[in-house]
């Protein structure tokens, strides 16, 4: 399978793109850039905006980075995005996720997908107990 556009390699990057690539490598303490960014580089504004957003969203805050990466894996599995599953599973492992944690994460993802569709198929109304009190 060929990608829609060719990756823009580090050596071929414009200064604007290169600046983002450098920030990615510095922030993540790695010496390579993954294909996602090399494709977004065809639109430097989207590359920069997406990178700045990911950096802000995935930073430690009320949730720690491991939980955030696991949430990312959960959504990606639920959406069937193969690249995203592979890249965020790798990131979650780097952040401390074990195989046992991954298996439990996916068990929850499976269960949620199952009950989501049972609920919608049965057209179940929300119990008042679950609603926010005015």
> Taking the complex as a whole, how short is the minimal distance between the CB of residue 115 and a copy of itself, in angstroms?
6
- Spatial neighbors of 88 by CB under 8 A, at least 6 apart, are 69, 72, 73, 76
- Rounded to a whole number of angstroms, the minimum distance from the CB of residue 126 to a copy of itself is 5
Q: Of the candidates 14, 22, 43, 96, which one interacts with a copy of itself according to CB under 8 A?
A: 43
List the interface residues with a copy of itself, window 12-31 (CB under 8 A): none
Site residues (CB under 8 A) for a copy of itself, limited to 65-104? 67-68, 70-90, 98-104
- Residue 80 is given by DSSP the state T
* Number of neighbours of residue 20 by Cβ within 10 angstroms: 21
Residue (16 or 104) nearer to a copy of itself, CB = 104
How far is Cα 1 from Cα 125, in angstroms, rounded to an integer? 44
Give least dist CB 15 to a copy of itself, A: 19
Which residues contact residue 69 at a Cβ distance below 8 angstroms, ignoring those fewer than 6 apart? 58, 88, 91, 92, 95, 97
Give the one residue of 10, 25, 39, 95 binding a copy of itself; rule: CB under 8 A: 39
């Amino acid at each position: 399978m060929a990608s829609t556009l060719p990756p823009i390699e580090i050596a071929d990057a414009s200064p604007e793109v290169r600046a983002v690539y450098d920030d990615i490598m510095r922030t993540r303490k790695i010496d390579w850039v993954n294909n996602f960014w090399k494709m977004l580089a065809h639109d430097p504004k989207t590359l920069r905006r997406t990178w700045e957003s990911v950096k802000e969203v995935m930073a430690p805050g009320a949730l720690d980075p491991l939980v955030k990466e696991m949430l990312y894996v959960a959504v990606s599995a639920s959406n069937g995005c193969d690249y995203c599953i592979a890249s965020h599973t790798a990131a979650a492992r780097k952040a401390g996720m074990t195989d046992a944690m991954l298996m439990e994460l996916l068990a929850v993802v499976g269960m949620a997908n199952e009950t989501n569709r049972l609920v919608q198929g049965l057209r179940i109304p929300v119990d008042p107990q679950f609603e926010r009190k005015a």
